[in-house]
């Protein structure tokens, strides 16, 4: 009968390196005041023996949990999953956050909380008590929910705020939403479009206002009409249908539309095609999100590519640094988006 391989423990590492258990623990926990030569020596033994530190053991050795808690909006996330529409916001969150946590010896826990619920404080408190995370990442609209941010501040739990300028504490990170809307608007104006419609997102997302501001700034700078060209949806498909119908029913309809989510852009595309409008000959479309479905549509969608994974990765870095006593950035950190040009945009035709 084959002998079961004995698991490698911190004691084996200490014996192999010829150091104390406390020294190995300090190296594993990346604590200060460990000489570089000693750190290399211990790390060499860790690599040779294939030792994998236990989070439970690390938690017992100090005040850190080595867990980062990421919160996302329950209602919208579940709706996206049930629709199976190809929205990969959560995938990108996990890609950036989990990989960075693993790289730095942490683990990420993903939780859904309904920011509109009267029970939000109770739900969050239960998660904090159960997990004791070293940091929390808030995504919109949680990022600017005072019930959530106040609770975290009172409990002295470091938290990062995606899509927020950080009023009320925390580490703010933004994905350049105003600049992204400017980029999209300028691209369409440079193509020759003079009537550019904009479908904004819901008011409880601060980034909705930033995107509208970016579009409106370009309209004003270029001397283009805008008074009747902005409508508001909720990021979902059905709201996009209503918004697109309102814009395309105008006596002088827009020749281009920027929508604040892929789902609203898909809706605008479907409404336009039902009306007999060709894309992009009669109507150019630009979307936010750049989910996988954007490039699979016919025609494929020109889209703002939001750096969700990179932003989550940076949030993890900053939270772990805060746990080590490092000061967070003094201002919102901007992770820049990009514009991916595909088939849904072109210069307006004389008849459009």
CA 170 – CA 350 distance, rounded (Å)? 51
pLDDT digits (tens, 9 = 90+) for 73-115: 888 888 888 877 767 888 999 999 999 999 988 999 999 988 7
Burial pattern 206-223, b for ≥16 Cβ within 10 A else e, equals bbbebbbebbbebbeeee
- The residue whose two tokens read 């020596």 is 41
CA 258 – CA 287 distance, rounded (Å)? 6
Q: Give yes or no for a contact between 66 and 58, defined as CB atoms under 8 angstroms apart.
A: yes
**pLDDT the model gives residue 24:** 81
Same domain as 193, residue 298 = yes
Same domain as 86, residue 27 = no
Q: Comparing C-alpha atoms, which of 255, 200, 246 is closest to residue 225?
A: 255
Same domain as 289, residue 271 = yes
Domain count, the chain: 3
Q: Is residue 2 part of a domain?
A: no
**pLDDT the model gives residue 248:** 97
Average pLDDT, the chain: 89
| Residue 60 reports pLDDT greater than 80 | no
> What are the tokens at 247?
């814009």
What percentage of the chain reaches a pLDDT higher than 90?
57
Q: For the whole model, what pTM was predicted?
A: 0.79
Q: Is residue 329 part of a domain?
A: yes
Q: Is residue 77 part of a domain?
A: yes
Q: Residue 103's beta-bridge partner residues?
A: none
Q: Is residue 1 part of a domain?
A: no
The count of other CB atoms within 10 Å of the CB of residue 331 is 9
Same domain as 163, residue 182 = no
Same domain as 213, residue 139 = no
CA 118 – CA 116 distance, rounded (Å)? 7
Same domain as 108, residue 209 = no
Average pLDDT over residues 218-241: 95
Same domain as 194, residue 81 = no
Helix, strand, or coil (residue 146): helix
Range of the domain at 219: 177-305
Same domain as 263, residue 225 = yes
Q: Give yes or no for a contact between 143 and 206, defined as CB atoms under 8 angstroms apart.
A: yes
Same domain as 246, residue 211 = yes
Same domain as 115, residue 185 = no
CA 133 – CA 266 distance, rounded (Å)? 38
Same domain as 299, residue 188 = yes
Helix crossing, 206-221 with 177-191: angle to 10°?
30
CATH number of the domain that residue 282 is part of: 3.40.50.2300
Q: Is residue 129 part of a domain?
A: yes
Q: Is residue 316 part of a domain?
A: yes
| Residue 340 reports pLDDT greater than 60 | yes
Give, in order, the Cα–Cα distances in Å from 12 to each of 4, 15, 46, 183, 349.
17, 5, 9, 57, 74
β-bridge pairing 256-259 and 230-232 = unpaired
Same domain as 289, residue 243 = yes
When computed from its CA atoms, the radius of gyration of the chain, rounded to whole angstroms, is 25
CATH number of the domain that residue 26 is part of: 1.10.260.40
């Amino acid at each position: 009968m084959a002998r079961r391989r004995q698991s490698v423990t911190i004691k084996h590492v200490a014996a192999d390196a010829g150091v104390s258990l406390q020294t190995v623990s300090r190296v594993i926990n990346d604590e200060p005041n460990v000489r570089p030569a000693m750190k290399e020596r211990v790390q060499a033994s860790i690599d040779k023996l294939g030792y994998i530190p236990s989070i439970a053991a690390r938690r017992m050795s100090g005040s850190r949990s080595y867990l980062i808690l990421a919160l996302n909006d329950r209602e919208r996330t579940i709706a996206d999953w049930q629709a199976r529409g190809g929205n990969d916001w959560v995938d990108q969150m996990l890609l950036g956050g989990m990989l960075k946590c693993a790289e730095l010896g942490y683990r990420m826990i993903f939780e859904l909380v309904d920011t509109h619920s009267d029970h939000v404080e109770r739900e969050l408190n239960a998660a904090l008590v159960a997990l004791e995370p070293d940091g929390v990442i808030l995504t919109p609209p949680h990022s600017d929910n005072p019930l959530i941010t106040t609770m975290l501040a009172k409990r002295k739990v470091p938290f990062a705020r995606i899509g927020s300028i950080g009023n009320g504490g925390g580490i703010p990170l933004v994905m350049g939403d105003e600049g992204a809307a400017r980029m999209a608007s300028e691209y369409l104006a440079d193509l020759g479009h003079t009537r550019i419609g904009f479908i904004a997102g819901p008011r409880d997302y601060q980034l909705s206002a930033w995107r509208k501001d970016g579009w409106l700034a370009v309209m004003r700078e270029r001397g283009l009409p805008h008074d009747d060209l902005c409508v508001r949806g909720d990021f979902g498909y059905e709201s996009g249908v209503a918004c697109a119908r309102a814009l395309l029913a105008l006596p002088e309809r827009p020749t281009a539309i920027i929508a604040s989510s892929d789902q609203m852009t898909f809706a605008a595309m479907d409404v336009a095609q039902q009306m007999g409008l060709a894309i992009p000959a009669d109507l150019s479309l630009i979307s936010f999100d750049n989910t996988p479905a954007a490039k699979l549509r016919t025609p494929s969608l020109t889209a703002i590519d939001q750096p969700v994974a990179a932003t989550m990765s940076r949030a993890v870095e900053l939270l772990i640094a805060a746990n080590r006593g490092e000061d967070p950035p003094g201002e919102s950190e901007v992770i820049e988006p990009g514009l991916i040009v595909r088939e849904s945009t072109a210069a307006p035709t004389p008849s459009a």
